[in-house]
Chains A and B, each alone.
Chain A
Amino acid sequence: MALSGTELARYSRHILLSEIGIGGQERLRAGRVVVVGAGGLGSPALLYLAAAGVGTLGLIDCDSVDLSNLQRQILYDSGDVSQSKTSAAQRRLSGLNPDIAVVAHAVELGPGNARDILDDYDVVIDGSDRLGTRYLVNDACVLLRKPLVSAAIHRFEGQALTYVPGRGPCYRCLFPEPPLDEIPNCAQAGVLGVLPGVLGAVQATEAIKLLLGAGEPLLGRLLTFDALEMRFREFSFQRRPDCPVCGDHPSITRLEESNAATDAEAKVVQRLSAQQLKSMTLRSVDRDRPVIIDVREPSEFETGHLPGAINIPVGELAGRIRQLAPDLTTVFVCRSGKRSEHACRLAARNGLGKVAHLEGGLLAWVESIDSSLPVA
């Protein structure tokens, strides 16, 4: 179907570009792009893709909007706080461009649903905030032969790369396996609000180019951005013949396999409420009281910590695991419970049998036990 008069007017600045024209705009209208994570990266990517007239946009997110999101997640406004992200995003994107279809997937992407959801789209944009999801999305795209535009951010630094099946290396060719301990995400490490704007716009640009078949995608090139230096750098990398998913003899041939270890580890993680931990610390016999390991960074620990807690940043835990007594109960704590959960899994994997973590982290402790504890 030809572009309508309204569409010709709306996309006139695109149509003026010889690389797009009417034919390219029609290709964008026929295009289907799904964005994993409607957060910092997903917000600008979705807004630009909607504005550009990409005909079908999928968004995958099971969170609701938090006040702390508004510093960077420009899809939402103050009235959206506590609303589901997919509903709020759907309203905003449909308001921006009523001619496109916005498909909400209010679910957590996992090995069981990734194939079904992603297979329905032409291009996948990864804006997730967990490394596990990042590897899952990469593996799914390789197995489904879907183009993927991946990006990630940390504090003032971001990185982006594009994968196209048969034309270049995948994310695992660069970073074959995730670390045993989680890299802190935005909620844990902080992030400059405008940073995902830069990287999310790069992702939208790449997706549009892929739909158009125009220009040179970021294939085999890692683009990094340092906002403090205001510097982009580019690093070339090749497909690895021994890549576990896109290599010559892949070991990952189904999504379930790549996440089996994670699922098994999840079963050994014991969660404690703040009240349960408080009760344990009050036990009269020394050996019954837990050893509390605070796995935050030293600067966070110095701001405030639980009495008697020992600071071992999560990144150092693997190297210092032998310092922990296997016969005592070890409770890991951090700010929100994410890093401590990973520490717990790491400790269990290294043979410590009596491990637990504080669910909800020190933020939960402040809310229910001691509101005077300063938490960075």
Chain B
Amino acid sequence: MAESTHCIVNIASPLRSYTGGAAKVNARGATVAEVLADLEQRSKGMRFRIIDEQDRIRPHICLFVGTRRVHSLAEPVVANDELHVICALSGG
């Protein structure tokens, strides 16, 4: 397994009720899956809002590491990367 690293997760506005309103949280992990698992430890229920029962990114959610779109949860995350959780918004 690759070495676990710290990264910053930017949380979409509709999901911030899981982080006490925080827009950014720190998490550890060498892959997107590990970062989300670490996030779940401190923000219970958050992962289920992002990933479905088949371990797929929910279709109204997009993940980006930096500016690179995430297509697989196995994609790597390196130190100081930012993981952006972006959610379809409805307000107009």
Question: Residues of A at under 8 Å CB distance from B?
Answer: 37, 39-42, 126-131, 134, 151-159, 174-179, 182-186, 189, 191, 196, 222, 224, 226, 228-229, 233-238, 297-299, 313, 315-316, 318-319
| Residue tally, chain B, CB below 8 Å to A | 25
Interface of B is mostly: mixed
10 nearest interchain CB pairs?
A152-B89, A129-B92, A177-B59, A157-B13, A175-B88, A176-B59, A186-B91, A179-B60, A131-B90, A153-B91
Cβ of A185: which chain B residues have Cβ within 8 Å of it?
90-92
Contacts of A178 in B (CB 8 A): 59-60, 88
User: Which B residues are CB-close (under 8 A) to A40?
Assistant: 91-92
List which B60-85 residues lie within 8 A (CB) of chain A: 60-62, 64, 67, 69, 84
Determine whether the beta carbon of B91 is less than 8 Å from that of A297: no
Please report the C-alpha to C-alpha distance between residue A224 and residue B91 in the assembled complex, in whole angstroms: 14
Question: B residues touching A (Cβ–Cβ < 8 Å)?
Answer: 12-15, 17, 23, 45, 48-49, 58-62, 64, 67, 69, 84, 86-92
How many contacts A-B (CB < 8 Å)?
111
Can you sample 13 A-B contacts with CB below 8 Å? A40-B91, A129-B92, A130-B90, A131-B60, A155-B13, A176-B59, A182-B90, A183-B89, A196-B92, A222-B86, A226-B23, A235-B62, A318-B48
Contact B59 A183 (CB under 8 A): no
- Give the residue of A134, A224, A228 whose beta carbon is less than 8 angstroms from that of B90: A134
B90 cross-chain contacts in A, Cβ below 8 A: 129-131, 134, 152, 154, 182-185
